[in-house]
A and B are shown apart, each in its own frame.
Chain A
Amino acid sequence: MSVLSVEGLSVSYRVPGGRLQAVRDVSLSVGRGEVLGIMGESGCGKSTLAAAMIGLLPQGAEVAAGAIRLNGTDMLRLPGEEQRRLRGQRIAMVFQDPMTAFNPVLTIGRQLADFVGAHGGGKGAAEIAGMLERVGIPDPGRCLGRYPHELSGGMRQRVAIAAALLMQPDVLIADEPTTALDVTMEAQIIHLLRDLRTSFDGAIVVVTHHLGVIAELCDRVAVMYAGEVVEEAGVDALFHDPRHPYTRALLSCDPAVVMPGSGHLPTIGGRIPDLTALPAGCAFAARCGMAEAGCGAPVPRHRGAGRSVLCHRSAA
């Protein structure tokens, strides 16, 4: 049973000269104990999707269609006050740069206590310290007395995760959680999230452009391109049997997979299409090596065992 499900969601921005369609007819779901990865390049709509999931769409964004259900209730239909109550309590988010999530003039302990207080949880310092310990902070008592700038990037990210987990939410959304970190810290945060998947009984959604993070951490992956989920599959199937031409192209141009010294890396020619004037057919056709005349027609979604592909030429 899925904790969070997105159904036919479309989000657009009003921009000078029209509407920018950032998210188009996206349907996804994630269950307890599951890690869903949302992968894509900049401009693919993954950050807008993450913001919509937590109800923090920026000014000018408009939900054109669809629903986001948390335990069955459509969050988009809830009044603002109730939405705000769910945020932080049932659904929490971790950002790329945790520094921005903290108030620089208050100690970590004070901020975590305020946060718990705001959500009506009667949790004491001991519980907060316990949570810090759980996310791998070596001396939680001392950490509580510190200011955000006194912590390293990796430590701040751990504290941010602890803060997100304090209210025992059903869903944790992590937007590029390791992008600002060194390799060693990245590995540690990946391990932490992986441990949490089993110990914390909720769903985790990881949004990233980093293929390595997806492969190390996720159970299921949705690949986004030009606002759409072009392919969704189990992580092993996605990396070892990609069906959508865009997924294949993306996987092949990562320097981490190309054998060393093999000269040129493969690239994807062209650019993402103008999101204010999208073609009626496949949005990837202009850059696709397999494209043919029929790709100009609206694309069917093939669904198969545990996967879906949005392509004329590949069956799921």
Chain B
Amino acid sequence: MSAVLELSRMSVALPLGGFLSRARLPILMDVSLSVGRGESVALVGESGSGKTTLARAVMGLQAVSGGSIALDGQAVEGAAGHARLRRDAAMMFQDATASLSPRLTVGYLVTEPFRIHGVALPDPEGMARELLAKVGLPPAMARRYPHELSGGQARRVGVARALALKPRLVIADEPTAGLDVSVQAEVLNLMADLRAEMGLAYLIITHNLALVRHVADRVVVLYLGRVVEEGPTAQVFAAPAHPYTASLIAAEPRPDPRQRRMDLAIRGEVPSVLRRPSGCEFHTRCPMAREMCRTTAPTLAPIGAGRQARCHFADQNKDQQGEQHAVEHR
């Protein structure tokens, strides 16, 4: 069975500017990733990790400098390929309100995908009502303009629009950013319902680990444009194999004052992509970096069923972290 979305060794490099300069700055390097039918995959990393660039590259909004994209086993190439991809895959933007064209009504916006792809729409008003109902919005909402919507409502309109053409894949960039806790829960429930109902696959881009734990089957961790760890969510959270993953999990504030973290898991900031560190690119912030990490770059290597990590000591870390996890939860 082929995956809905398959990226193999995808790279994105941005021109550095400068007159007649051919120099390019690598943003994403050899990222391979697959999203199976009905599967929910989370892509996590700090800002600057390249996660939003990846989403844009998949949707054809960002030129790709290497590698390939396949949708349902068919390579996505050229304008025709992207036209097909944009019908079968939809994207939800981080800023839901800003992603709605400001001078058009919600009713027009949710039915726009039909017009774009030339799908006959005998009853646009009825379709708008149906789509709004599907995301739990009243029909009267069709007459509103984007600036009249609350954050949660704009998010729902974004979902309705993404689902209009019954896609098989939805790429969601920070689907709960800027939402209140209770509204966040409503949006996540809606996404879960729609997944079950329509057999959707999700690629969720986020830095919110609570969200990942809740909705993702598999998680892919990016650091400076490279995949550093990948695996089933439960296993990765229970026993992270890459120290970066471990420190991301540890950094997450816990809503329980009895579990306060008194030590700081990760120091410093993401290095600039203009000055990538030598060897393992994480060594400048890694709590367990050794001499070899400064000089030798690790490769992304399999570490058991369905898991991969880019660390010299991945197996060791995994076992240690796993034991710790087991102790904490005993």
Contact = CB atoms under 8 A, between A and B. Distances in A.
Instruction: Answer whether A and B are interacting partners.
Output: yes
Interface string B117-158: 000000000000000000000000000000000010000000
A263 B185 CA distance: 11
A167 interface: no
A266 B185 contact: yes
A294 B151 CA distance: 34
Contact of B255 (A42, A188, A212): A212
B185 A265 contact: yes
B244 to A, nearest CB: 9
A183 B213 CA distance: 15
B253 A187 contact: yes
Nearest to B268: A138
Contacts of B247: 184
A215 B255 contact: yes
A255 B213 contact: yes
Contacts of A211: 181, 255
B207 A182 contact: yes
Contacts of A292: none
Interface stretch (A50-58, A61-69, A232-240): A232-240
A206 B49 CA distance: 29
Contacts of A213: 253
B330 interface: no
A215 B254 contact: yes
B234 interface: yes
A251 B206 CA distance: 22
A15 B257 CA distance: 40
Given A253-B181, A254-B181, A212 B253 contact: yes
B253 A210 contact: yes
A257 to B, nearest CB: 5
B251 A216 contact: no
A25 interface: no
A183 B258 contact: no
Contacts of A250: 181-182
Contacts of A153: 47
B258 A240 contact: yes
A185 interface: yes
Contacts of B189: 264-265, 267
Contacts, number: 120
B165 interface: no
Interface residues of B, number: 41
B247 to A, nearest CB: 7
Interface string B253-290: 11111101100111101000000000000000000000
Contacts of B264: 187-188, 191
Nearest to A257: B255
A314 interface: no
B181 A184 contact: no
A41 interface: yes
A230 to B, nearest CB: 14
A152 B188 CA distance: 30
A154 interface: yes
B252 A183 contact: yes
A250 to B, nearest CB: 6
Contact of A268 (B151, B182, B211, B213): B182
B260 A215 contact: yes
B209 interface: yes
B53 to A, nearest CB: 16
A265 B188 contact: yes
A217 B71 CA distance: 46
B251 A183 contact: yes
Query: Interface residues of B: mostly helix, strand, loop or mixed?
Result: helix
B182 A267 contact: yes
A172 interface: no
Contact of B258 (A186, A190, A236): A236
Contacts of A187: 250-253, 261, 264-266
B269 A260 contact: no
Contacts of B213: 255, 260
Given A212-B252, A266-B185, A254 B210 contact: yes
- Among B213, B250, B256, max chain A CB count under 10 A is at B256
B118 to A, nearest CB: 37
B252 A154 contact: no
Given A260-B234, A264-B192, A265-B185, A254 B180 contact: no
A258 interface: yes
A293 interface: no
Contacts of A210: 253
B180 A239 contact: no
A99 interface: no
Nearest to B211: A255
B57 interface: no
A313 interface: no
Contacts of B180: 41-42, 209
Interface in A195-247: 209-216, 235-236, 239-240
A249 interface: yes
B267 A188 contact: yes
A249 B256 contact: no
Given A184-B46, A184-B251, A255-B185, 15 more contacts: A154-B269, A155-B269, A184-B248, A186-B251, A186-B253, A209-B180, A215-B253, A215-B260, A249-B182, A251-B255, A254-B210, A255-B184, A257-B255, A260-B213, A265-B188
Interface of A: 41-42, 152-155, 182-188, 190-191, 209-216, 235-236, 239-240, 249-251, 253-258, 260-261, 263-268
21 contacts: A42-B180, A182-B207, A187-B250, A188-B266, A209-B180, A210-B253, A211-B255, A212-B253, A213-B253, A214-B255, A216-B257, A239-B255, A253-B181, A254-B255, A255-B210, A256-B252, A256-B254, A260-B234, A264-B189, A265-B188, A267-B186
Nearest 6 CB-CB pairings of A with B? A212-B253, A256-B210, A187-B251, A265-B185, A41-B180, A211-B255
